[in-house]
Amino acid sequence: MPEGHTIHRLALTLDRAFAGSRPRAASPQGRFTDGARRLDGRLVERAEAWGKHLFVTFEEDVVLNVHLGLIGVFDVHRYAPRTAADVAPPLTAPPGPTTPPPPVGAVRLRLWNDETVADLRGATVVDLVTPEQVDATVARLGPDPLRAGTPGNDPERALARMARTGRTIAEVLMDQSVIAGVGNLYRCEVLFRHRVDPFRPAREIRPATFRAIWDDLVDLLAIGVAFGQIITVEEQLAEARAILGDLGEEASEAYRGGRLTLVDWQGGGEAEAGGRRRPAYERRGPFEREFAVYQRDGQGCYTCGSRIRTRVVAGRNLFWCGRCQRRR
């Protein structure tokens, strides 16, 4: 599940759920027992994301560093009502649970407070680090489209790297030290959207073309955060933007800036009969999974009809249209 949008959304969710509280911590699976013991009952200051790296800062400079890798999942959900008002009528409502349900599967780390439980499984990195180590990790990353607007976080840095490499654009887009947060799916789809030949050397990509790709990624990843889903086909993007547009000028502004207030929009939806506001993605439901090229090998391109192709590039299955993305 994890490309940059997943991690940024996760950081926002964890921040909302745990910042300012002292969650319990445990390692039901037993592979993070010592770390969980150090975190147990410790005050959470904030959670944030850089590229695909997640950092949860606890008091006294203890930072939980998580990288989900290919198959990791950090599942966060509320198991108890947030406020007494959510339970009605008061006299007949059963008392809410005070402990989360038992963990299922290989849960390496569980964090929970009175309302929310978060289960981490399958991650490649689960570590306690210092703020200095966080800085060192972040320093190794290229610009992150989800941090567009942060000083120094712009496509020119990526272009400078691209100018002195012999690698193809498809390889470079997977290199987190060139551009952070893009994974295989966004790579395939964004190259198709810009009709770029994946095998073209990165140094031959025109700067204007790459800047357009960057701007597109700022938009696509932000939409990915807002909806918790990768959306790359124009029809669905138009609907997604319409939903976000409905949420008002302030939300739109935050969205265009690529800033990390996106999940706040979930609270900005229409008030329903019960008075509870529902997230935009709940109002319309998640989008159907649909891509232009990703995992469509052998099928016809929606644009030109020629067969979508696939080949392993940078260790992952690249998908592209040999006609639409022919070198020009």
Partner DNA sequence: GTTTAATGGGTAT
Partner DNA sequence: TACCCCTTAAACT
Active site residues: 2-3, 52, 316
Contact 54, 7 (CB under 8 A): yes
- Surface-to-core class of residue 308, CB atoms within 10 Å of its CB (0-12 exposed, 13-18 middle, 19+ buried): buried
> Nearest distance from residue 328's CB to DNA, in Å?
26
Alpha carbon distance 258, 277 (integer Å): 24
Q: What is the DSSP letter of 23?
A: -
Q: What is the DSSP letter of 149?
A: T
| 183 counts as binding DNA under rule CB under 7 A | yes
Identify which of 122, 292, 298 has the alpha carbon closest to the alpha carbon of residue 194: 292
> Nearest distance from residue 53's CB to DNA, in Å?
8
Select 93 or 106, whichever has its Cβ closest to DNA: 106
Cα angle for residues 310, 235, 211 (degrees, 5° grid): 65
| 52 counts as binding DNA under rule CB under 7 A | yes
**Residues 71-130 close enough to bind DNA by CB under 7 A:** 71-73, 104-108, 121-124
Per-residue interface string for the shown chain with DNA, residues 283-312, x marking contact by CB under 7 A? -----------xx-----------------
Alpha carbon distance 167, 161 (integer Å): 11
| 143 counts as binding DNA under rule CB under 7 A | no
Contacts of 71 (CB under 8 A, 6+ apart): 122
Coil, strand or helix: which one is 141? coil
Choosing from 184, 232, 266, 325, the residue that interacts with DNA (CB under 7 A) is 184
| 136 counts as binding DNA under rule CB under 7 A | no
Choosing from 56, 62, 64, 174, the residue that interacts with DNA (CB under 7 A) is 174
| 226 counts as binding DNA under rule CB under 7 A | no
| 67 counts as binding DNA under rule CB under 7 A | yes
| 315 counts as binding DNA under rule CB under 7 A | yes
Neighbours of 326 (CB within 10 A): 12
Exposure b/e, 246-266, CB count within 10 A at least 16 = b: ebeeebeebbeebebebbebb
> Nearest distance from residue 203's CB to DNA, in Å?
19
| 185 counts as binding DNA under rule CB under 7 A | yes
Contact 156, 285 (CB under 8 A): no
Q: How many residues bind DNA (CB under 7 A)?
A: 35
Choosing from 31, 157, 256, 278, the residue that interacts with DNA (CB under 7 A) is 31
Choosing from 6, 65, 116, 325, the residue that interacts with DNA (CB under 7 A) is 6
Placement of tokens 């964890």 in the chain: 14
Select 30 or 97, whichever has its Cβ closest to DNA: 30
CA distances from 5 to 53, 181, 210, 217, 224 (A): 11, 7, 20, 10, 5
Give me the residues that bind DNA (CB under 7 A), please: 1-3, 6, 29, 31, 51-52, 67, 69-73, 104-108, 121-124, 174, 176, 182-185, 230, 294-295, 315-317
